[in-house]
Amino acid sequence: MHLLQFSTSHYCRKARLLLGYKRLAYSVENLTPGLHILKLKPLTGLTTVPVLQPQQASAPEAIADSTAIWRYLEQSQPDPPLTLSDPEQQQQAALLEDWLDESIGTATRFVYYDYRANAGKGIDPSLMSQAVIAIVRRQYSITPAAVKLAEQRLAMAFQVLAPWRRQPFLLGGDRPSLADLTAAALLSPLALLPHYRQSQPWLFARITEIHHCCQEPLPPGLSD
């Protein structure tokens, strides 16, 4: 298996958690933002990472989108499962995953890059890093008004994810679902923001546990 990724992307972290949970060996290719389009467009028709290349006979050449990657891995490597045995719970996990992907992953991106450009500039004040951050902010229209809305969405997310405060897995039971891995990946950039570290300690405890369970190194801001 071969994973095309941006090293800092939280959606690529989600793909690595999936591969790690399934105990699959894989190589990684870090693409250069901007130039990535030249490689990805002819391969998948899309411009986003993660992209998985299974490199196996009868498998597709490339699978774009973290949810499609999950679907492929769950079907080709059912053990250990990430699908819950109760269909209603599985539907709930799928809904949570879709909401995390479409809404909360974006909100995290807005809040994170706003922090890195302002109060968190000291994390990497180099011209190169600040130039990349400026490009990302322009690409996604990360304005102060949009950041405020993103902060409100994250505040709501902490309420929706409240079951995680008292139990190791969002939907209960004794093993994680796709929703747990998705939340752990897509909220992980907040580990660098002191405000969230102080106000939501339970979240970073769960993120750490899921990373251990998937044998994935912890994200910046969290350490073993």
CA distance 113 to 134: 9
Question: What minimum distance in Å lies between the beta carbon of 11 and ligand GSH?
Answer: 4
Nearer to ligand GSH, 49 or 111 (CB): 49
Question: What minimum distance in Å lies between the beta carbon of 51 and ligand GSH?
Answer: 8
Query: With the C-alpha atoms ordered 188, 193, 196, 198, is the resulting torsion angle positive or negative?
Result: positive
Cα dihedral: 170, 171, 174, 180 (round 10): -40
Question: What minimum distance in Å lies between the beta carbon of 6 and ligand GSH?
Answer: 5
Site for ligand GSH in 1-20 (CB under 6 A): 6, 9, 11
- Name residue, tokens 């979240």: 203
CA distance 146 to 36: 26
- Considering only CA atoms, which of 107, 94, 117 is closest in space to residue 156? 107
Q: Which DSSP letter does residue 85 get?
A: S
Residue 97 as a binder of ligand GSH (CB under 6 A): the answer is: no
CB 154 within 8 A of CB 107: yes
Interface map 53-82 toward ligand GSH (x if CB under 6 A): ------------xxx---------------
Question: What minimum distance in Å lies between the beta carbon of 166 and ligand GSH?
Answer: 28
Looking at the DSSP bridge assignments, the partners of residue 53 are 2
Interface map 142-181 toward ligand GSH (x if CB under 6 A): ----------------------------------------
Nearer to ligand GSH, 35 or 127 (CB): 35
Among 20, 50, 54, 189, binds ligand GSH (CB under 6 A): 50
Angle between helices 201-213 and 178-186 (to 10 degrees): 120
Burial of 100 (0-12, 13-18, 19+ CB in 10 A): buried
Nearer to ligand GSH, 113 or 164 (CB): 113
Task: Phi first, then psi: give them for residue 28, nearest 5 degrees.
Answer: -125, 140
Site for ligand GSH in 20-49 (CB under 6 A): 47-49
Nearer to ligand GSH, 49 or 157 (CB): 49
Nearer to ligand GSH, 63 or 207 (CB): 63
Q: In the complex, which residues of this chain contact ligand GSH (CB under 6 A)?
A: 6, 9, 11, 47-50, 65-67, 101
